Structure 1
Amino acid sequence: MSLKMLPMFSLDFPKLYLILYKSLHLNILVFSFDSILDVNGAFCKITGYSKDELIGLKLSDIVSQESQEKVKILENKLFRKEKFDSSERIKFVKKDKSSLEILSYFKSFSYKEQNLGLLIGQDITYEEKYKVLFQTLKSLNQLIIQTTSETELFRKACQLFLQNLNLKLVWIGIPDRKNIKPLYVYGEDNEYLSNIKISLDESLPKGRGPTAQAFISGKIIINPDSRINPQFLPWKEKALEKGYLSSCAIPLKKGDQIVAVLNLYSSEPYFFDETLEPLLEEIQNNLSFALDKIEKIRNGLLTITAISNAKNWIIITDDKGYILNINDIVCQETGYPKEKLIGKHVSFLDDPENLIKIKDKLKETILERKERYKDIFVKRTKDNQKIILKQEIIPVKLINDTVNYVVLGTNITEELKLWDKIEKLKTQDLFTGLLNLEGFSRKVEEVLKILKTEGLLILLDIWGTSYINKVYGLETGNKLIKRIASLLKGAFKNNALIGRTAGDEFGIFLYNIKGTGTSEIVNLIKNFEKPFKIDTHEINVQINLGCSLYPLDGDNFKILFEKASISLNESKNKGPGRIVFFTKELENKLNSLLKAEKLIIKALEEELFIFHYQPYFFTSDLKLAGFEALVRIKENEKIYYPGEFIDYLEDHSEILFKFEEKGLEKIIKQIEIWKKLYLLIYLLNLYKILRLFANLLN
């Protein structure tokens, strides 16, 4: 029975009440201006209250803020003993604090000289939710039709869900190594995400929440009540502070791969439950479809543009190959007028070199077997420019058994150029301008095929990227990534390939290096000694390096990358600022170089270099020929010999120059001392001789 039909019944009201009171589907409530007097079991069941808990409360005590005014008007009418007969949509607050919408028919009546109100209601909560969700799906479909980029899709979809579903927070996260990183965030207060972590490691509590499980399982995960859901415990306190009482996580696919998770947060507990799952799946399917569509558009846009703008060539020849007719596009693209081409042999337009390559196969197929022939032809324009044509030659048998030929051709010159651009897009990281992982691997493989010397693969990881993003913000974090990419491009000469292999990871392949490339690593580390200035922030960046050497550790990119990755993971496990080689002897050599660098810099600053002078003689008469200066470093009574630092000096010409300058100063000073000492000895000897001579005279 529809609620709209109730006022039409002329049945005695008390009798009608008794009939309706026992209904399992209609919610009955009797109230006065200051209290609820009676409720039926159906109303108790849907609200979660017992009858005793409701009796004595005011009707306005159990309705939401947005329905307060409507109910208080009715209570005031009862107080003033005014009559009413109306229908309203009233939102009630259930015992568990979730909301419930009831289509309510209100009628005043008199009982034992009391002016009372009767509520007969029908639960339309899910009907309203479905209506809103259907409207949202409709708007989403319109958005999908109009959207051609992922960024636009995600941003507008988040805003749509936030507004239409009256949510507190909507965000989309993507995988970032072992965590989920927020990419687009919309809501009243998005600082919540800066203070939490969502792991993809299921062995951790933070890897078993809705978002991580949705990404791992590919299924929609619903958190009906943040207050009691044990899987939501790691985020419970901060979520409740923000009023996030229920949520759901919807994994989004691109092809067969989960690429992101859409997260919806409501201020109502049980806003999301299993009854809504079909509609949530529809949202998931629509967004995944949109991602596939955008991906196809992205990959095929340039090609489609080229094909849509291309026009087919049509050339008709006689049985000997002489042109009988052509369409306008042939003239437009070759630059020849029609009258110039008609009567010419079709080969007039062909590039001679290309025609020589295919003439035997062309003759056999067309002239001897009279079959279709497809191939790529190179044509020449009037001004001798090349046109690449995808061409098919079709023999057409006429009524008189003669054969003419129809040549259909598509100009793919620009298309081939566009494909080159597409290939570049596939191999480039658009954010930094560096090679992406695929492009990096291809380029390294190309170099390895011709490399005659050793090569070094370095994987560089920025330590604490998530912390940087939380402290300074995602925008600053992104700027830092770009700054480091720019730094790496300028840090090496023409013997390096550089790529961005993951969100906060870079790959560097050094070739034609001296030795094992340890000196290049030392120079690389120096670039991170000073803080990076990003806008108003000065950010100290620590890095970890994992290295593998060609051909010692592997002879192809895959093996070298795997071993460098193993080294990088070991480096990160040891803490920030660590460098790990897959081959430990190289790691030890690097550590020695780093130690030598510190020692030499200190020796230059504090003048710790000392020289021992070793004389050498002429072999002919054993007379003194000169001295050899032997350098040492003396620090805190400890003597360091050349073998401990000479390799570093030889690899760093600017440091070697400073050392030679300092050493030369010391040697010159020593020679001056020797000169003075020699003069003194000479004068003493002269004095002794004069004294001796004087004594002899006496």
Structure 2
Amino acid sequence: MLLSSANEAIAHMENEAELLQSLCALTVQHTNIRLAWIGRPDDRGAFKSLAAAGAVDYLEDICISVSAESPDGQGPVGQSWRDQQPVYNASFTKNPHMHPWVQRAQAFGMGANASLPIYRGGKLWAVLAVYRGEERIFDADLQKILEDLAKDVGYGLDRLDILRKEREANAFNEVLLNVQTSGINVMRYPERIIERINARMLEMFEAASMEDVVGHPLREFFSGEETYAWVSAAAQTVLKEGHGTLRDVPYRRMDGGIIYMDLSGQRLDEPDGVERILWTCVDVTERHQLMDELAQQALFDMLTGLPNRRALDAELEKAMVRADRYKYLLGVVMIDLDGFKGINDTYGHAAGDLVLQRVGQHLREGVRRTDFVARLGGDEFVLLLEDCTSIEEINIAMEKIGGVVRQPIDLHNGNKAVVDLSAGMSIYPTDDINNPDTLLRYADQALYNCKSHKTDRLHFWTLYGKPVSLRLNAVQKLLRNGELLVHYQPVLDTHSHQIVGVEALARLRDEDGRILYPGEFLPLITAEDTTDLSRMVLIRALADLAGLDVLGWSLWVSFNVAQESVDDRYVRCLAGVVEASGIDSSRITLEILGGSDFLERNAALSILHDIKDLGIRLALDDVGSAYFSLLRLKVLPIDEIKLDQGFIRSLEERPQDLYFIASIRDLAFGMGVDLVVEGVETDDILDAISVMGIRLLQGYAIARPMPVAQLREFLVQHPSYHRQHPTSLLGLYAKQVSDQGALKKVILDNPLLINSDELAEASRCAMDEHMRRLGLAENSLLFGLHWEVHRAIASLLKAPVIGDWETVKQTQKAFEGGLLEAFQKTKR
């Protein structure tokens, strides 16, 4: 947009100061540039601003020199003037040459700047300086835009010089027939016969002799009736008023070429009474060509020659009007090239430009004459497919377009480049589209959706409002072919010593009968597939739950749902599934990942409450595995916390994690929600977690996930989990961790409740009994350390004032260390 707007200003403005000021203002308006100014040095070599826009106060009393010897000449402006090359400064603070201006730059929020030479009449005339707020911001694309802009400023100045010279020549010709620079001819009316011409006019017509022109009618020198009528009407004005002018009149030369002239006519009042006009003709072909080039730049992409965004906007409005008038469909297609960046990186920008030119050419060849092709910029193109009767017809056209774009492109170095494409499409007319911007925005959104499925889409294009058509991979085919298996892992209640629930876990069976686990197949399915999967798991689980009810086992079931699936539609789906199953919704627990972004959104609260209204329980899964806000946790309507099994499986290697587990236990208790600990894989871990009073456990030490038939057999066997804890040294350690916190709280809150004399007798402690039951020798170090703990606490209680807990803490740590050492010896 910057270059198009700049070219439009250059094409229309004729005042030099206004033009320079307008170009600076456009630079600031269409980019993130904070300051743009154009300046040139005075007689002392100090730069003076000719025009500026943006943060112009930055330039107040600034010192910038052309001298390489002066610190004020070391910046991009001075260096660009001396070297006659663009100079880019990536950072004011990190470039030592920028020292004279660092404080000024910081005060105005300038991070980087650049300077580019401006040429006028082929000679260095001024510099264009621009300033950005960010550092290291001048990438290759921005550099090219700025360099093109500097060139355009020079073109605009050259155009003004041409106009000024023409005005001066015309003024002189009004007084004196300047046969050196202007053509002169005398025309007789009403016959419109050329009576006299000067030598310059002869040159302008490319005529070999006077006889080729004199005596010939004016009509011979025009290529069209419209121009002839225009000049004839102007002649009547001159004959009536005595004078008149015309600009940019196309004449046909003797060789068939076209020359453009500005005409100034003066009526000749001669004694013979014949009407004549003396025409002074100035050759303005060069100006006309320059104006054509600027007009081309305003509406066309200079690299590919295709219409640009400005031309697209104008054409799209007309195309919509035609679609309404003739009752056909208009397809707006936004195309983005896939693999283009790799060509730029591998072969360079020149090769990239060639590819863009060839793709533009192929697109023109691949569409009908009634269709429209434009380049938006970068590697993005837009097609307007008109006069279409159906979506199928547009799809056929898209297949052809894909074929022409994918043609190999020969590069200058002998290599071949191949690009693919992604496209988004919107259709007019439709109910919700009534303006061109909406059509383009919808096409862009469809393009974005299409690009997100480059690896699994059926077509390279997508229609707005429709899902991307995808190829089914092997996993998706298994899902659709009914190869889903649901396995159930029992959950133990340590208080009742019974299996009270199960977690439903998805599995897939491949063609060879191999069981696939979620880690293998979830990355290969879409968010929509994941939603369908959780729905199918729930339907199967509720049916199996009903079957278990018949056999006398009333269990609850939990199942996992991906955060992407949880929305209003899913709530309606849940309601339908639960109602159809006949299972009481209070026996269903929906698990959502605890650290998911979904739970941080305000919209999640409403959806979770809707699920709760169905009577379904909510659980946070894998708590502790990722960041999660406790402030957020307290407002979520949850019933259960599932501790991440990563903390549990490693307990035998890191028993100290029991402190964290105790904290989560206390948090769940304080919130009034259930705590489920999964990952209970060994008997020692089962013992430790049971000792800590956590009620609901899940893991291999209880049972592995199993099909429903195996689950029925498992329940028939009535496995016994009733045992006296602790049963292991890890359980002893867990008891010490659990008990010491409770004891400390009682002592600090109300020490009178504790009998210090009884507490001093460690043999009365249940820990002493457990150590004996587990077969530890009474003369072992552990018994001594246990006695030290009791003596330290008793001494603390007998003191007049409860003092520092540090001594007790040290004895407890020593005892815990002894327990851990003894436990680790059993694992060697």
The TM-score normalised by the length of structure 1 is 0.38
Q: Greater strand share, 1 or 2?
A: 1
